[in-house]
Amino acid sequence: MPITSEGVPYTISEHGLPVGLAMPPGWSPRPTPTPEAINGHICRLEAWDPSKHSQQLFESLHTGSVADQERRWTYLPEGPFTNAERLSQSISARAKSMHVMVVIPKFTETAQGTASFARVDQNSGTVEVSWVTLSPSLAGTAAATETFYLMLEHAFGLGYRRVEWKTDSLNAPSRRAALRLGFRFDGLWRKAVVYRGRSRDTAWYGMSDDEWQGGVRDAIAAWLDDANFDVNGQQKTRLADVMSHVRTKLDGLAEAN
């Protein structure tokens, strides 16, 4: 029977030392998450195709005043961009080290944002959802929530054990989004990055396969269900409230074990 310390299960080695649990029989490195498309109810994700997505993304991500655009890109290493070609060059460079997905909401049928599978560790079964850019039309919508649901479902469906989310510690909207989606705050890396000529402390968040299967998945799916929205498209129940109950349940189970 596993022992737990601070909710983390472990066992005792033959040398009398606490060690992590052995991996289950048959464990093997996970497949790389490189889908060509992931279809949802209100949006779909398509693998980055510069010939198809560049102009649409440039237009959707560069609306509003110059100040609005600069504010939108504050917590990313690059942007805003002067034209579609420069945006395309930036995303294509990024796509060499991560799998970039483009978000196509069904209410526009045009590219309105990006999110990527990054820092893939197939041997350990961990992957990060990274480089999130959402247009003003997409941010704060159910389609944005479904975007992350689809990425989490894909990663955990491939057998990944952990999905990560990290952000500038001062990026309050990103930190709220992580908690709303069911990620757990894992800690702060001080002075982790220098970008745009300034220092960044990085806030780390993570979600395990146990948490996904233990309530997070069902909570997001229930929130996305048509029954949770009135005739005007307004939510009846906030996902943050539902997730708070899920977190309490998961924490209780960890303590009980």
Cis ω before 80 (30° cut-off from 0): yes
In this prediction the pTM is: 0.94
User: Which of 181, 153, 158 lies closest to 238, judged by CA?
Assistant: 181
Domain ranges of the chain: 25-256
User: Which of 177, 173, 192 lies closest to 129, judged by CA?
Assistant: 177
| pLDDT one-digit tens code per residue, 157-184 | 999 999 999 999 999 999 999 999 999 9
Domain 25-256 CATH superfamily: Gcn5-related N-acetyltransferase (GNAT) (3.40.630.30)
Averaged pLDDT in 10-residue chunks for the chain of 257 residues: 70 93 94 98 98 98 96 97 98 98 98 99 98 97 98 99 99 98 97 98 98 97 97 94 91 65
- With the CA atoms of 143, 146, 150 and 153 taken in that order, what torsion angle do they form, in degrees rounded to the nearest 10? 180
| pLDDT one-digit tens code per residue, 17-38 | 999 999 999 999 999 999 999 9
Instruction: Determine the pLDDT at residue 255.
Output: 61
How many CB atoms are closer than 10 A to CB 4?
A: 13
Residue 41, class by beta-carbon neighbours within 10 Å (0-12 exposed, 13-18 middle, 19+ buried)? Answer: middle
Instruction: Determine the pLDDT at residue 250.
Output: 86
Range 129-161 burial, b when 16+ CB lie within 10 A, else e: bbbbbbbebbbebbbbbbbbbbbbbbbbebebb
Token pair belonging to 14: 């033959």
